[in-house]
Structure 1
Amino acid sequence: MQDNSRELFALEKKFWQSMVDTDTDTAIELLCEPAFMVSSHGSMKFDHAGYRKMAEQGTMTIESFELSDMEATFPGDSTAVLSYKVHQILSPRGKSDRVEQHMADTSTWVRDGGAWRCVMHTEAPVSG
């Protein structure tokens, strides 16, 4: 499972980098359809088109991130749950204002054929 942990940590970082780079196609390749997200904005279920709209037209953009304290657990051969902390800098789309956040995140990944895909992501604010 150690090799799978490293692979999944790399995929999680790739997903985050795709948000910084506004590389929606890469993000969609890493997502199940549908997928779920739970945040301070509530719970949502979205398909690939819905994710594309959020990523390309949403009110906030991710400028930078730093992931730490990554852990993985494997409830089955084709399921993994990642837990980690993230320090992220966001900006309102098209503006130079910045918002700094410290969050605790989880992502649930499932093996879809030969590839891992994220089916669920949660985030909650924590004190810095």
Structure 2
Amino acid sequence: MQDNSHELFALEKKFWQSMVDTDTDTAIELLHEPAFMVSSHGSMKFDHAGYRKMAEQGTMVVKSFKLSEMEATFPSDGAAVLSYKVHQILSPRGKSEKVEQHMTDTSTWIRDGDAWRCVMHTEAPAPTAKGGDAGQR
């Protein structure tokens, strides 16, 4: 089985950068149709038009991000699951206030012809350390 970790890490970063740049077309090129997302807002299934609406009219926008501790596993030649931590800065659309978040994310990518496409993304708040300095940034 071929290890495409570096290629998929680059695609994941490209997707994140497309959100910062409000480059919805690039994001859509990287998404399977339909795709799923699970977050603190619940679970949703969306097509490309649904993603475009979220990206261009959603209440929050990504201003910056830093991905770390990226890992990949390949259950088959045509599927990969990425897991990583993200430090993201968000702002309400049209406002200057900023919200800082530390999250733990996963993305599931599948081979679609010659291209990899993201079919599933999850995010959850990163656990905070209790007592001691484990997990502090």
Tell me the amino acid that sits aligned with residue 15 of structure 1. F
2:39 is aligned with 1:49 = no
Normalised by the size of structure 1, how large is the TM-score?
0.98
2:50 is aligned with 1:66 = no
Q: CA RMSD in A?
A: 0.7
The CA deviation at 1:25 is 0.1
2:72 is aligned with 1:75 = no
How many residue pairs are counted as aligned between the two chains? 127
CA distance, structure 1, for counterparts of residue 24 and residue 38 of structure 2: 20
CA distance, structure 2, for counterparts of residue 7 and residue 88 of structure 1: 22
Tell me the amino acid that sits aligned with residue 27 of structure 2. A
Alpha-carbon displacement from aligned partner over 1:77-117 (angstroms, at most 9, x marks no partner): 00000000000000000000000000000000000000000
Q: Unpaired segments of 5 or more residues in structure 1? A: none
Aligned to 2:115: 115
2:7 is aligned with 1:12 = no
CA distance, structure 2, for counterparts of residue 35 and residue 5 of structure 1: 21
Tell me the amino acid that sits aligned with residue 49 of structure 1. A
CA distance, structure 1, for counterparts of residue 78 and residue 95 of structure 2: 41
Q: Unpaired segments of 5 or more residues in structure 2? A: 129-135
Aligned to 1:124: 124
Identical positions, percent: 84
Q: How does 1:80-119 map to 2 (within 5 A)?
A: 80-119=80-119
The CA deviation at 1:5 is 0.3
The CA deviation at 1:120 is 0.0
Tell me the amino acid that sits aligned with residue 89 of structure 1. I
Tell me the amino acid that sits aligned with residue 63 of structure 2. E
The CA deviation at 1:20 is 0.2
1:83 is paired with a residue whose SS is strand
The CA deviation at 1:67 is 0.0
CA distance, structure 2, for counterparts of residue 116 and residue 70 of structure 1: 17
CA distance, structure 1, for counterparts of residue 10 and residue 112 of structure 2: 17
Computing the radius of gyration from Cα coordinates, the structure with the larger value is 2
The CA deviation at 1:35 is 0.1
